[in-house]
Amino acid sequence: MLRFRFFTLLLALLPAGLLAQTVSLDSCRNMAVRNNKTLRMAEENIASAGYTRKAARAAYLPGVDFTGGYTYNQHQIELLGADAKLPTMSFDPQSMKYEMNLLKGPDGVPVKDPQSGSYIPTEVAVIPKEAMSFDTHNVFAGAVTLTQPVFMGGQIRALNAIARYAEQAATTARNAAAQEVVYAVDEAYWQVVSLGEKRKLAESFLELVDTLKHDVDVMVRTGVATKSDALTVEVKYNEAQIALTKVTNGLTLSRMALAQLCGLPVDTKMVLEDEQLHRTGAPDRLPTENMADIYSRRQDLATLRAGISLLEGREKMALGDMLPKVAAFGAYSFSNPNVNHGFEKRFGGGFNVGAMVTIPIWHWGGNYNKYKAAKAQTNMQRLLLEDAQEKVQLQVQQARFSYDEAYKTYDMTLTNMKSADENLRQAQLGFREGVLTSEDVIRAQTAWVQAHSEKIDAQIGISLCRTYLSKVLGTLDNYDLHSEKR
C-alpha cells in the first residue's frame, strides 16, 4: 500500500507533457480540425458570409433614416430692403370695378411723376421693413425618411442570390480545407506508426547482429574465425546502432509533428492506438460509382459550382444597371424657425410622400460592356469546372489503381518476408555448422531487415491509399470544429 501511494504521488508530480496518453486516429483528426488556424479563419469567413446574406435580405424592406442638423447664420433674412409702399384701390359704384387711387388732373386724367414716369397714388399701404425680416441666426432642421424599393431592376434579388451562394462557397471551401487537414494528420499519424515499427525492427536487427558479433568473437578466440570476420561484423554492428539512432530520432520528430498538427504542445507524449500493426485483410470491394455522384460529393467542385452561381448573380446585377428603377418614399420634415408658419421661433413641420423613377437612357455602352464582362467571367468559371471534373476523373482512376496496387504489394511483401525469415534461419544454421561465413549471415540479416521494412511500408501504404481514395471519392468525413465527435 505504501509503495502504491508513493507511485501515485510520483505521477502527480510529473509534468503533464511527460504523461503519455493513448489517442486514436479519429481523435487526432478532431483535435487537428478544431485547433487549425486556417480552418478557424474559414469558420469566420462562413460567419461573415452569413451576416452578409442577412444584410442582403434587409434590402427588400423599407429603410427608415433620421437626419438632423444645426446652422448658425451671420445675417437674418430680410425680404425688404426698406419699407414698402403699395398703391391701393377703391370700388367705383358707377363702373362697378375697383379703380386705383391715383392723383388726377383737372381733366380727370391720372398724373404721372415726371421723374419716374409712373402714376402717383393718392393712398398707399405701407409694409414695414421689420415685418418682412426673420431671425434665422440659429436654424434647427431635421427629417425622418422612409424609403421602400419597388423595382430595382432585379438587383436586390441578385444581391440576395450572390450572398447565399457566397455562404455556400465559404462552407464548401472550409470543408475542402478540413479534408486536407485530415489527410495531413493521417500521413503524420501513419508515419509515427511506421517509424515505431521500424524502430522495433531496428532493435531486433541490432540484437541479431549483436548475437552474431558475440558468436564471431568466440570463434576468433578459439581460432575458428579470423580477425577480419570480427571486424566485418563490428562494422555491421555499428551500422545497426546508427540505424537505430536515426529511426529513434525520426520517430521523436514525427511524434512532435503529429502533436503540432493536433494543436498540442510538441512535447506531448502520445501512444497511438494503431502502433501495433496487424494484417489488414483482403481489400474492400470498391463500388462502381457514377462520376456524377462523385462530382456532387467533392467539396472543391462544389466551391466551383457555387462560384458559377455567384457570377450569374453578378450578371443580373450588371443587367439591372440597364433597367428602370422605382422607389417610393415618405418623410416628415421639421425646422426651427418654422418655415411653414411665418418663421416662428418654434419647431414645426409636415409629411410628404412621393415616388421616384430612374430610367437609364444612354451611357455610351458602359453598362452593356459591364454585363458582357460579367458573362465572360461566368463562362470562364464554367470552363474551370469542366477542367476540374476531368482532372477528378483521372484522379479517381489513379486512386483506385493505387488502392489495388497497395494490397498486391502487401501480399508480395508477406511472401518475401517468409522467404527472408527462412533464408536467415538457414544462414544462421549453416554458420553454426561451419558451412557458411559471417558475411553470408550478414547478407541474410540485411535481406531480412529489408523484407520486414517493405512489409511495414506496404501496410502503411494501404492505410494512406484508403484515406486518399476516400478523399478523392468525396466520402472523407467533414469534422466539426466545435465538438469532439460529430
The set of cell numbers assigned to 35 is: 485547433
Q: Measured between alpha carbons, how far is 47 from 42 in angstroms, rounded to an integer? A: 9
DSSP code at position 325: E
Beta-sheet pairing, 63-72 with 77-78: unpaired
> Cβ-count burial of 198 within 10 angstroms (0-12 exposed, 13-18 middle, 19+ buried)?
buried
Cα–Cα nearest to 48, from 185, 180, 163: 163
| Residue 390 confidence (pLDDT) | 94
The set of cell numbers assigned to 121 is: 397714388
Phi-psi region of 439 (alpha: psi -120 to 50; beta: other; left: phi over 0): alpha
The set of cell numbers assigned to 234 is: 563490428
Rg of the chain over all Cα atoms, to the nearest angstrom: 46
| Residue 485 confidence (pLDDT) | 39
Between helix 37-57 and helix 155-222 the angle, nearest 10°, is: 170
| Residue 15 confidence (pLDDT) | 43
| Residue 2 confidence (pLDDT) | 38
DSSP code at position 158: H
Alpha carbon 134 to its chain centroid, in Å, reads 62
Instruction: Specify the amino acid at residue 233.
Output: V
| Residue 1 confidence (pLDDT) | 38
Q: Measured between alpha carbons, how far is 436 from 398 in angstroms, rounded to an integer? A: 46
Asked if 167 contacts 354 with a C-beta cutoff of 8 angstroms, the reply is: no
Mean pLDDT in order along the chain per 10 residues (486 residues): 38 43 87 91 94 93 92 83 81 82 78 79 80 81 92 92 94 92 93 93 92 87 83 91 95 94 89 72 62 90 94 93 92 85 81 92 92 95 95 93 91 93 92 85 92 92 90 78 45
Instruction: Specify the amino acid at residue 102.
Output: L
| Residue 13 confidence (pLDDT) | 41
Q: Measured between alpha carbons, how far is 210 from 207 in angstroms, rounded to an integer? A: 5
Asked if 404 contacts 285 with a C-beta cutoff of 8 angstroms, the reply is: no
Asked if 294 contacts 392 with a C-beta cutoff of 8 angstroms, the reply is: yes
Cα–Cα nearest to 368, from 411, 412, 318: 318
Q: Any idea what the Cα angle at residue 381 is, between residues 376 and 382, rounded to 5°?
A: 95
Asked if 128 contacts 83 with a C-beta cutoff of 8 angstroms, the reply is: yes
Q: Measured between alpha carbons, how far is 28 from 465 in angstroms, rounded to an integer? A: 18
Q: Measured between alpha carbons, how far is 458 from 13 in angstroms, rounded to an integer? A: 42
Cα–Cα nearest to 100, from 85, 110, 108: 110
Instruction: Specify the amino acid at residue 358.
Output: T
| Residue 331 confidence (pLDDT) | 92
| Residue 133 confidence (pLDDT) | 79
Q: Going by C-beta distance under 8 Å and a sequence separation of 6 or more, which residues neighbour residue 72?
A: 137, 138, 139
Cis status of the peptide bond prior to 149, with omega within 30 of 0: no
Side-chain half-sphere exposure of 421, counting CA atoms within 13 A: 10
Beta-sheet pairing, 270-272 with 325-336: unpaired
